[in-house]
């Protein structure tokens, strides 16, 4: 266990929970001290905080601390979320197997798009973008999709402080041109990247809508080298992408 003096109190609480969860039975204060190597006042304070927060509960003997229902519910939610992530990755894998090109699932983070998951095509000619990668919103298919579904006031606030940086000759750097495309995207129900972020790379994206509303939670995109799949060919895959987006929406809860 990390007992560095630089560790924040919050991290130390999490470390203690992790250690207690790994033990097979409730632990007393002396046992916690032996597990952590912490001074008695520190260990006692941490246990008291976790008990008052509902993460630990005192056994009937009053001396041993056990995992509380709140922590058990958290672990169950984490397992469920992990399962749903596995389902989403499986949907992407199946899509790539069918379409033959890379597919990704993204979310909006500020003025950027962040990759939540991605499955690469088997071809050697590809652009590898790992989960966690961030790309500009104004010149990516997924980013323009999020902007198109955004409330006009929210979009205005975001774009007013966003430099529309040019990445290729096709990048939209004019607000008027971008707004016109966003209107088309909302009407058509999908967005494209016509070599606007990376020269030679095309992309088509569809929204993954929240099950109980028309809010865009994520975006599902197909991405391919233009030399292997033209933008027109990528658009032909829209029915399959929309079908996969519906399957992904069911995993969002």
Task: Return the pLDDT at 100.
Answer: 92
Structural domain boundaries, residue 29:
9-67
Check whether residue 148 and residue 219 sit in a common domain.
Answer: yes
Check whether residue 176 and residue 217 sit in a common domain.
Answer: yes
Check whether residue 54 and residue 96 sit in a common domain.
Answer: no
Helix (H, G, I), strand (E, B) or coil at 27: strand
Task: Return the pLDDT at 76.
Answer: 60
**Does residue 232 sit within a domain?**
yes
**Does residue 129 sit within a domain?**
yes
**Does residue 177 sit within a domain?**
yes
Contacts 24+ apart (CB under 8 A), 58-65: 59/26, 63/28, 63/29, 64/25, 64/26, 64/27, 64/28, 65/20, 65/26, 65/27, 65/28, 65/32
Check whether residue 96 and residue 35 sit in a common domain.
Answer: no
| Tens-binned pLDDT, residue by residue, of the chain (253 aa) | 444 444 577 888 999 998 888 886 899 999 999 999 999 999 999 999 999 999 999 988 899 999 888 887 777 666 556 657 788 889 999 999 999 999 999 988 878 898 888 898 887 665 667 677 889 999 999 999 999 999 888 898 888 888 899 999 999 999 999 999 999 999 999 999 999 999 999 999 999 998 777 788 899 999 999 999 999 999 999 999 999 999 998 887 6
**Does residue 185 sit within a domain?**
yes
Check whether residue 34 and residue 96 sit in a common domain.
Answer: no
CATH number for the domain spanning 102: value is 3.30.450.40
**Does residue 60 sit within a domain?**
yes
pTM of the shown model: 0.68
Check whether residue 138 and residue 183 sit in a common domain.
Answer: yes
Check whether residue 36 and residue 154 sit in a common domain.
Answer: no
Overall number of domains in the chain: 2
Check whether residue 243 and residue 122 sit in a common domain.
Answer: yes
Task: Return the pLDDT at 213.
Answer: 73
Cβ neighbours of residue 191 closer than 8 Å, sequence gap 6 or more: 141, 142, 144, 145, 148, 185, 204, 205, 219
CATH number for the domain spanning 53: value is 1.10.10.10
User: Exposed, middle or buried: residue 6 (CB in 10 Å: 0-12, 13-18, 19+)?
Assistant: exposed
Task: Return the pLDDT at 4.
Answer: 42
Task: Return the pLDDT at 1.
Answer: 44
Rounded to the nearest angstrom, the gap between the alpha carbon of residue 153 and the centroid of all alpha carbons in its chain is: 25
Check whether residue 20 and residue 107 sit in a common domain.
Answer: no
Check whether residue 198 and residue 225 sit in a common domain.
Answer: yes
User: Exposed, middle or buried: residue 252 (CB in 10 Å: 0-12, 13-18, 19+)?
Assistant: middle
Residue 139 tokens, joined: 């010149």
Check whether residue 63 and residue 100 sit in a common domain.
Answer: no
Cβ neighbours of residue 18 closer than 8 Å, sequence gap 6 or more: none
**Does residue 148 sit within a domain?**
yes
Task: Return the pLDDT at 97.
Answer: 94
**Does residue 27 sit within a domain?**
yes
Integer Cα distance of 245 and 204 in angstroms: 13
**Does residue 2 sit within a domain?**
no
């Amino acid at each position: 266990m990390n007992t560095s003096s630089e560790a924040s109190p919050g991290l130390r609480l999490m470390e203690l929970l992790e250690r207690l969860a790994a033990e097979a039975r409730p632990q007393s204060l002396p046992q916690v001290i032996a597990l952590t190597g912490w001074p008695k006042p520190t260990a006692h304070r941490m246990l008291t905080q976790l008990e008052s927060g509902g993460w630990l509960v005192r056994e009937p003997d009053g001396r041993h601390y056990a995992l509380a229902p709140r922590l058990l519910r958290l672990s169950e939610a984490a397992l469920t979320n992990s399962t749903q992530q596995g389902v989403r990755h499986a949907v992407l894998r199946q899509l790539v197997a069918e379409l033959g090109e890379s597919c990704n699932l993204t979310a909006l983070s500020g003025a950027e798009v962040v990759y939540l998951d991605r499955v690469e095509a088997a071809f050697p000619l590809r652009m590898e973008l790992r989960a966690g990668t961030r790309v500009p919103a104004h010149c990516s298919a997924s980013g323009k999709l999020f902007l198109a579904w955004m409330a006009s006031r929210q979009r205005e606030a975001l774009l007013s402080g966003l430099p529309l940086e040019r990445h290729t000759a096709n990048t939209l750097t004019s607000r008027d041109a971008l707004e016109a495309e966003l209107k088309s995207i909302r009407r058509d129900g999908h967005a494209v990247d016509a070599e606007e972020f990376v020269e030679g790379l095309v992309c088509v994206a569809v929204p993954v809508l929240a099950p109980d509303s028309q809010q865009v939670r994520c975006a599902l995109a197909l991405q391919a080298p233009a030399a292997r799949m033209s933008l027109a060919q990528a658009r032909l895959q829209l029915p399959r992408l929309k079908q996969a987006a519906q399957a992904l929406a069911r995993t969002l809860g």
